[in-house]
Structures are given as C-alpha cells and as structure tokens.
Amino acid sequence: MDPDYDLVVVGAGVVGAALAREFSLTGLRTLLVDAGDDVGCATSKANTAILHTGFDAKPGTLESTLVSRGYRLLADYAAAAGIAVEPIGALLVAWDADQLAALDGIDTKAKKNGYLETRAVGASELRELEPDLGHGAVGALAVPGESIIDPWSPPIAFATEAVRNGVTLQLRRRLTSVEASDARTLLSFETGPNLTTRWLINAAGLGSDLVDEMFGHRRFHITPRRGQLIVFDKLARPLVNHILLPVPTAMGKGVLIAPTVFGNVMLGPTAEDLTDRRATETTAEGLATLLEKGRRLMPKLLDEEVTATYSGLRAATEHDDYQISVDEKQRYVCVGGIRSTGLTASLAIAEHVRSLLAEVGVDCELIRESKPPAMPNLGDQTPRPYQDATRIKSDPEYGRIACHCERVTRGELRDALVSTLAPTSVDGLRRRTRAMNGRCQGFFCAANIQVEYPVVQASPGGNS
C-alpha cells in the first residue's frame, strides 16, 4: 500500500511553509503539519523583521550562503506577492574607538560574504543621517542593502501558495513519534489520526532537536535564546531613518533600533539563553535593559509611547551553523537550528533542501510555475485601502475604518476571513490585517471587531 503522503513537512513556521511551497511545485503529494493553530505562530511571528543581506554571517557557512541567496529570493517574492519591504539600509554604529576599529573587521567579513556595498560613515555624516541618535556616536559602517520586511505575511503567503497547489495543511497536530520502516514512516500525533509518509522534513524550529531524536539522532540541542522587544508608537517613526545596529558581541547582534514596515519603531532584542521552550513572556529585567540601552542610543525615542512589547525564541544550538542534513536510510531531512536569520533564508533553505533530495534520487523536479498569491498590503509606504479613492469607489467597505490606530477597513477584515488561509484566532486576524495591533491595543475597536468579524477556530487535525 502506498503511504498517505510522499512528503510531510513538520512545522509551519516561515521555514516549513517555504518548504511546503517549494515542494508544491513538484509532483510530490505533500502535507504540512503544525502543532499550533496557525502558520507562522511560533518564532516566525516574533522577530525583528529584517531582510538581511548576510553581510555579517560567518563566512563559509551554509547560513552565509543561504541568507544571501534568500535575501534576493524573498525580496523578489515579496515584490510579486505585494508584501511590504523597505530597503532603508543599516548603519552599524560605533560608540567608542574600539568599536570603530572593529568596523574594519566587519567590513572585511562582509566582503568575504560577497557583500561589497558597505561604506564607512564619519561622525558628522552620521549625525546628518540620524540627527536623533544619542551623543557619542563616533562613526558607522553603512550597509545599504539591509531592508525591513513585513514578517507576518511571508509564511502565510508561502502556505497559501502551497495549499492552492494542492498541499494539505493540518493545524493543531503535534508530532509525537515516528516509526520508520522500509518503504514508509508511520507518524503519530498528539491529536488526530496517525498517518504514513515516504519522506519527512523536520522544520520544527524550537522542537527540531526533539524531532531529530525521534529518528534516533543526537546531533544538536536547542537552547531557546529569548529576544524581548519594545515597539514604539508610529509618532516615533520620523526619528529613525535606518536600521541602527550595534557593533556585534559574542552574545549576538545586540540591541538595535529599527523602523518597521508598519510605521513603528522597535527597540531590541535581548539575548537570554533559557531552557524553557515556551518562555515567550517579557520580563521586568529584560524591558528595563532595553530601555536603558535605548536611552543611550536615542533618548528621544523614550519620550514616545510604547505600543507593544513581545518576545521571541531563537532556536540556537551548540553549533555555528544551520543543522541541515539528509538521512537517506530513514528518508528524513533535518532542517533545524535555524536561529536568527530564518525569515530571510527561508526560500533559499527550501530550494537547498529540494536540491539535496534530488541528489539522493527523489523525483522532485519542478513541474509548476510559482504563482505568488496577492497578499493584502500591510505596509505604510504603499497606499493602503483607506487611502485609495478608486478602490473605495468600487467597494465602499474599504472606506469604513474599523481599527482606527492601524486604519484597517472593514473590507480588509472581511477579505481576511474568506482568504485561503483564514485566521483561526484573534491573533491570526491581527497578523493578517494589523487590526487591534495599534497604540490603543483594542480600547476603541477590539470589542466591535471580534463580534463582527468572528474567527473560526481550527479543529485538531482538520484540513484547512
């Protein structure tokens, strides 16, 4: 008897969704499963939303290659799907002589990574570029390619394309064990029926080492590295023109200030090594650290109101690179340890994994053209429906603003509920429309919206 699927992708974060999309263009019968109630609802929803050039990756690593390739792939995909990207560039800001000296090393590294557009910026030019920076900045390295992106839409777009190409999506399905035999692997889940597959790809993010263990491996251990962030009000947006990066330290990239495509400014992330894989709370110490750093970086930012705080967990491992490998005997691919660049690299990771499978003889030629779905524009740089007179004329629902802070119209809320990947939670509706995500956090609109645009919860294992 044939297995139920040719391929099961475990984990529907941005990486798993990109994988499902990639294989939806092949002839493989593919299933995408996730333990959560939406795609992209773990680490992929809580990051700093930067489309990295890969200038500062460790040269020679797979991560370095996939980030720079993924940068181009995602920029193109985003343009085709209408996902907001703003190529505003980054400035690595040095605050003392040591840091200034370190910029040379970073510049060399960037060149090794194939990124050639860096440029040294002197103190006075820096002040012109970023007049609201705190006192004491002595210079910077400009990385013009660094961009900001809407982080919520990519996983939804990838999964939408996959589902439209015939991939099955099942939510609330936590994989609990696998039994690999000759021709197929039996999968058991916390909820819903067992099923069988020929191949399995582990894109389980923070759970990727656990899934790896199900196949008998002990190759890496995930240490959740928490990053807390503070999002400031849109009125802060004029203060910041670039992504303002600190000079990196051993613990990571440090605390940055960056605009978001939604028109806010964010400050973060922290880097805290934890053991609890679900510890996505914010802490008093974490927020205090950010405020203290922020006060030095840009004192005026702290005069603005805070819109949101959140935290995400990077899937860090003891290794310096992504953990991607093929276990041909068990027909298993591990795509683990995708820690702090996975959004950028997602499409390149998927492309890479398909080539690995082709190498071991899996018939996964592309048989379809990619058709990126048209995603609702959540970015502030291109007109949103409420600003579009022509659109309102053709459908007045786009002129009826329901969420005032984020200016989300009834037309957009209605569309979200009938989209291919309709939200199954209020949070899902937030990520698809921005509604209730603004400065009032629902004071004005949340009660209305939740009653008038009710989401339907995902049933365990139910097809979407």
Partner 1 sequence: MNDSIRSTQTDVLIVGGGPAGLTAARELRRLGVARVTLLEREAETGGIPRHCFHPGYGLRDLRRPMNGPTYARRLSDLAIAAGVDVRTETTATRWSDSELGLLVTSRLGVETIRATAVILATGARERPRSARLVPGDRPDGVYTTGELQQAVYLHKQPVGKRAVIVGAELVSFSAALTLAHAGVEVVSMLTEQPRVQTFPTVPIALGLRQRFPILTDTSVTRINGDRTTGRVIGIEITGPPGSRTIGCDTVLFTGDWIPDHELARLGGVRIDPASGGPLVDTSLRTSRPGVFAAGNLVHPVETADLCALDGKALAATVADFLDHGPGSADVLEVQAGDGIAWVSPGLLRIGAPAPHGRFTVWPAQALAGVRLEVRQGTRVIKRKRLLDGAVPGRPIHLVSDWQSGVDPAGGPVCVWIRGN
Choose the binding region for partner 1 from 183-191, 353-361, 370-378, 392-400 (rule: CB under 8 A).
392-400
Task: Find the shortest distance in angstroms from Cβ 380 to partner 1.
Answer: 12
- Straight-line distance from the first to the last Cα atom of the chain, in angstroms, rounded to the nearest whole number: 26
CA–CA gap between residue 416 and residue 24 (Å, rounded)? 23
Query: Which of these segments, 157-165, 253-261, 322-330, 388-396, binds partner 1 (CB under 8 A)?
Result: 388-396
Q: Contact between 454 and partner 1 (CB under 8 A)?
A: no
Residue with tokens 């656990």: 210
Which of 273, 441, 456, 463: binder of partner 1 (CB under 8 A)? 441
- Is residue 203 involved in binding ligand FAD (CB under 6 A)? yes
User: Is residue 47 a contact partner of residue 338, using CB atoms and an 8 Å limit?
Assistant: no
Distance of closest approach, residue 168 Cβ to partner 1, in angstroms: 26
- 5 forms beta bridges with 197
The single residue among 210, 308, 417, 422 that binds partner 1, judged by CB under 8 A, is: 308
Q: How near is the Cβ of 263 to partner 1 at its closest, in Å?
A: 11
Q: Which does 3 bind (CB under 5 to 8 A by kind): ligand FAD, partner 1, none?
A: none
Interface with ligand FAD, residue 314, by CB under 6 A = yes
C-alpha span between 253 and 191 (Å, rounded): 39
Q: Rule CB under 6 A: is residue 442 a binding residue for ligand FAD?
A: no
Residue 411: CB minimum distance to ligand FAD, A: 18
Distance from C-alpha of 120 to C-alpha of 110, rounded to nearest angstrom: 13
283 lies in the site for partner 1, by CB under 8 A: yes
3-state secondary structure of 51: strand
Among 7, 12, 156, 445, binds ligand FAD (CB under 6 A): 12
> Count of residues binding partner 1 (CB under 8 A)?
47
If one asks whether residue 117 binds partner 1 (CB under 8 A), the answer comes out as no
Question: Does 299 contact partner 1 by CB under 8 A?
Answer: no
Residue 184: DSSP 8-state: -
Contact segment (CB under 6 A) with ligand FAD among 5-13, 125-133, 388-396, 422-430 equals: 5-13
3-state secondary structure of 18: helix
Write the CB contacts of 56 (distance below 8 Å, at least 6 apart in sequence): 106, 109, 110, 113, 248, 253
Q: Catalytic residue, from 52, 217, 242, 352: name it.
A: 52
Lookup: tokens for 16: 């798993």
Q: At what angle do helices 426-433 and 410-417 cross, to 10 degrees?
A: 120
Alpha helix ranges (H) inside 82-218 = 97-112, 123-129, 153-164, 208-214
Residue number with CB closer to ligand FAD (47 or 68): 47
Minimum CB–partner distance for residue 125 and partner 1 (Å)? 28
CB of 125 to ligand FAD, least distance (A): 25
CB of 392 to partner 1, least distance (A): 5
Residue 269 in contact with ligand FAD, rule: CB under 6 A: yes
Assess 35 for contact with ligand FAD (CB under 6 A).
Answer: yes
Residue type, 53: T
The answer to whether residues 304 and 235 touch, using CB atoms and an 8 Å cutoff, is yes
Q: Report which secondary-structure segment, H or E, holds 77.
A: helix 62-81
Q: Distance (Å, rounded) from C-alpha 335 to C-alpha 324?
A: 5
CB 350 within 8 A of CB 155: no
User: Which is nearer to ligand FAD, 293 or 314 (by Cβ)?
Assistant: 314
Active site residue 135: no
Binding to ligand FAD, residues 320-349 (CB under 6 A): 338-344
DSSP state at residue 169: E
Structure tokens at 13: 């974060």
Paired sense of beta strands 306-316 and 272-273, if any: unpaired
Residues found near ligand FAD in the complex (CB under 6 A): 10-16, 33-36, 41-44, 47-50, 52, 174-175, 203-207, 211, 227, 269, 312-314, 338-344
Residues found near partner 1 in the complex (CB under 8 A): 230, 234-235, 278, 280-284, 286-287, 291, 303, 305-310, 383, 386-393, 396-397, 399-401, 404, 407, 426, 439-444, 446-448, 450-451
